[in-house]
Structure 1
Amino acid sequence: MRFAHRLCCIFVSATGLVAAMPSHAGQTTYTMPVSASVINGCTINALPLTFIAPAASNPAINSITSLTVQCTPNIAFTIDIDTGLYGNGINRRVRHTTSNAYINYDVYRDPPRSQVWGTGQAKNVTGNSGPTGTVVVPVYGRLGATNNLRAGAYTDTLTVTISF
């Protein structure tokens, strides 16, 4: 029995020596380059343009909304607005949701509503995102006269395009 006890102790001592030795034979390091690139970019968000008009004979009704432009700071941009889903030639129109009734309307670049906002060099809006990169651009709307029209909801969808 004494002999077995010594083997046990020698085995434990040998295991302890193995555990104290390093587990890896070598190591190397490498530096990893890191870079970042900020590219010019813009996004645009449009709030709805809403008109509320009585169905009876009514003169034109004005409304206003805005576009929020967010770009890399100090980026020049141009905003075009198309004639919408129900455009008829150069006329924009809202369509009654359950019939083929239409009301003409337009969007303008200026408060007196004398400069129609459209597409192309003479009808778009240009700007610069400035030092903060965020600009709020007003959109002025005018709904044509609503003479004896069917009551209900009229809708259209305009496509707003920002180029930078």
Structure 2
Amino acid sequence: MNLLLKLALLAAASGAMVGTYAATATQTFGVKLVVQESCSIGTTPTDVDFGTHTRQTTAVNTDAAGSLSINCSSGTPYTIALNGGLNATASTRQMLSGANVAAYVLYQDSARATPWGNGTTFGTTVSGTGTGAAVATPVYGRLTSLNFPAGTYSDTVTATVTY
């Protein structure tokens, strides 16, 4: 047999033998993703500061505004509740200066038409849908009188975001 033919037959036979012994193995694996909604309230709210005034015996509205920074993941529905503060009675928020009391109301809107509370006391909650970025949420306050003894009045209100 000619050498070229022998080499061709040998190459064909060795290729067939390699194909005969070839095998495969498979395994499956998972691919997963967990998406969670999230919300936070910024750590530096702007206080509702009514400022400094002289005592007035006639009724007068004194307004002020502050702000909360709410950051919820995009598309996340949320509500913001405000508690009564540290010095509230069953139906009135109050700032204290020693034993002296100054009543006030917090509102959701600049017209001061919708009181802001926890949904059962002091008013309704504020609702929104997250954008994925921090959103400034104003808090409007009103005093209906400045007929209080001289002093520095204060209260602390807690905001809670539920999502």
Q: Is the pair's TM-score, using the shorter chain for normalization, greater than 0.5?
A: yes
Indicate the RMSD between aligned Cα atoms, in angstroms: 2.2
More deviation in 84-93 or 132-141? 132-141
Cα distance in 2 for partners of 1:79, 1:101 equals: 30
Percent identical across equivalent pairs?
Answer: 29
For structure 1, list consecutive stretches of 5 or more residues without a partner in the other structure: 1-32
Equivalent position of 1:152 in the other structure: 151
CA contact (8 A) 1:65 1:140 kept: yes
Cα distance in 2 for partners of 1:49, 1:128 equals: 24
The 5-angstrom pairing of residues 2-151 of structure 1 reads 37-45=34-42, 46-57=45-56, 59-96=60-97, 99-120=98-119, 123-130=124-131, 132-147=132-147, 149-151=148-150
CA contact (8 A) 2:81 2:160 kept: yes
CA contact (8 A) 2:88 2:94 kept: yes
CA contact (8 A) 2:110 2:140 kept: yes
Shift of residue 133, structure 1, vs aligned partner: 3.2
Shift of residue 37, structure 1, vs aligned partner: 4.4
CA contact (8 A) 2:49 2:64 kept: yes
Report the TM-score, using the length of structure 1 for normalisation: 0.70
Shift of residue 34, structure 1, vs aligned partner: 10
Cα distance in 1 for partners of 2:80, 2:31 equals: 36
User: Alignment partner of 1:140: what SS?
Assistant: strand
Cα distance in 1 for partners of 2:46, 2:138 equals: 10
Letter of the structure 1 residue corresponding to residue 67 of structure 2? S
CA contact (8 A) 1:103 1:144 kept: no
Q: Alignment length, in residue pairs?
A: 128
Letter of the structure 1 residue corresponding to residue 108 of structure 2? R
User: Alignment partner of 1:155: what SS?
Assistant: coil
Equivalent position of 1:4 in the other structure: none
Report the TM-score, using the length of structure 2 for normalisation: 0.70
For structure 2, list consecutive stretches of 5 or more residues without a partner in the other structure: 1-29
Cα distance in 1 for partners of 2:102, 2:34 equals: 48
Cα distance in 2 for partners of 1:52, 1:86 equals: 19
Deviations 1:106-160 (A, max 9, x none): 1001111011001127711000112x3322111111023011x222211101111
Shift of residue 35, structure 1, vs aligned partner: 7.6
User: Alignment partner of 2:127: what SS?
Assistant: strand
Letter of the structure 2 residue corresponding to residue 55 of structure 1? T
